[in-house]
Protein backbone atom coordinates (compact mmCIF):
# COMPACT_ATOMS: atom_id res chain seq x y z
CA UNK A 1 0.00 0.00 0.00
CA UNK A 2 1.44 3.32 -1.04
CA UNK A 3 1.52 5.92 1.77
CA UNK A 4 -0.03 9.31 1.27
CA UNK A 5 2.41 12.07 0.47
CA UNK A 6 2.51 15.46 2.12
CA UNK A 7 2.23 18.68 0.11
CA UNK A 8 5.12 19.57 -2.17
CA UNK A 9 6.72 21.70 0.56
CA UNK A 10 6.55 18.70 2.90
CA UNK A 11 5.20 20.69 5.84
CA UNK A 12 2.14 19.85 7.89
CA UNK A 13 -0.71 22.23 8.65
CA UNK A 14 -0.57 24.30 11.81
CA UNK A 15 -3.51 24.47 14.22
CA UNK A 16 -4.76 27.77 12.74
CA UNK A 17 -4.88 26.29 9.23
CA UNK A 18 -6.64 23.17 10.50
CA UNK A 19 -9.35 25.18 12.24
CA UNK A 20 -9.76 27.46 9.20
CA UNK A 21 -10.18 24.50 6.87
CA UNK A 22 -12.58 22.78 9.29
CA UNK A 23 -14.72 25.92 9.46
CA UNK A 24 -14.70 26.30 5.68
CA UNK A 25 -15.85 22.69 5.26
CA UNK A 26 -18.66 23.19 7.80
CA UNK A 27 -19.79 26.47 6.24
CA UNK A 28 -19.36 25.92 2.52
CA UNK A 29 -18.38 22.30 1.87
CA UNK A 30 -15.28 20.31 1.01
CA UNK A 31 -14.90 21.98 -2.38
CA UNK A 32 -13.71 25.14 -0.62
CA UNK A 33 -10.40 23.54 0.40
CA UNK A 34 -7.48 24.55 -1.79
CA UNK A 35 -6.18 21.48 -3.65
CA UNK A 36 -2.67 21.94 -2.24
CA UNK A 37 -4.08 21.91 1.31
CA UNK A 38 -6.47 18.99 0.71
CA UNK A 39 -3.85 16.25 1.07
CA UNK A 40 -2.35 17.75 4.23
CA UNK A 41 -5.84 18.10 5.74
CA UNK A 42 -6.61 14.49 4.84
CA UNK A 43 -3.37 13.41 6.54
CA UNK A 44 -4.41 15.34 9.64
CA UNK A 45 -7.80 13.61 9.71
CA UNK A 46 -6.23 10.17 9.25
CA UNK A 47 -3.73 10.74 12.06
CA UNK A 48 -6.54 12.04 14.26
CA UNK A 49 -8.48 8.81 13.68
CA UNK A 50 -5.41 6.66 14.31
CA UNK A 51 -4.78 8.41 17.61
CA UNK A 52 -8.31 7.86 18.88
CA UNK A 53 -8.06 5.60 21.90
CA UNK A 54 -11.73 4.74 22.19
CA UNK A 55 -12.64 1.10 22.05
CA UNK A 56 -15.25 0.19 19.45
CA UNK A 57 -18.69 -0.38 20.91
CA UNK A 58 -20.09 -3.87 20.64
CA UNK A 59 -23.60 -3.66 19.28
CA UNK A 60 -24.21 -7.38 18.85
CA UNK A 61 -23.70 -9.85 21.70
CA UNK A 62 -24.32 -13.08 19.81
CA UNK A 63 -24.09 -14.26 16.24
CA UNK A 64 -26.07 -12.93 13.32
CA UNK A 65 -28.63 -15.73 13.48
CA UNK A 66 -29.29 -15.44 17.22
CA UNK A 67 -31.46 -12.34 17.03
Residue 7's pLDDT is: 46
Rounded CA-CA distance 13/41 in Å is 7
Contacts of 44 (CB under 8 A, 6+ apart): 12, 13, 18
What average pLDDT does the chain have? 78
CA atoms of 57 and 18, how far apart (whole Å): 28
Q: Tally the residues of the chain.
A: 67
* Mean pLDDT, rounded, for 9-34: 86
pTM more than 0.75: no
Q: What is the pLDDT of residue 12?
A: 83
Residue-level pLDDT at 54: 67
Q: Determine the Cα–Cα distance for residues 38 and 50; give it in Å rounded to an integer.
A: 18
Each residue of 22-36: pLDDT tens digit? 998 899 888 888 888
Amino acid sequence: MKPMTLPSEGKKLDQHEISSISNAVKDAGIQQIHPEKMEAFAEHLVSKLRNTHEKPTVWRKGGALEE
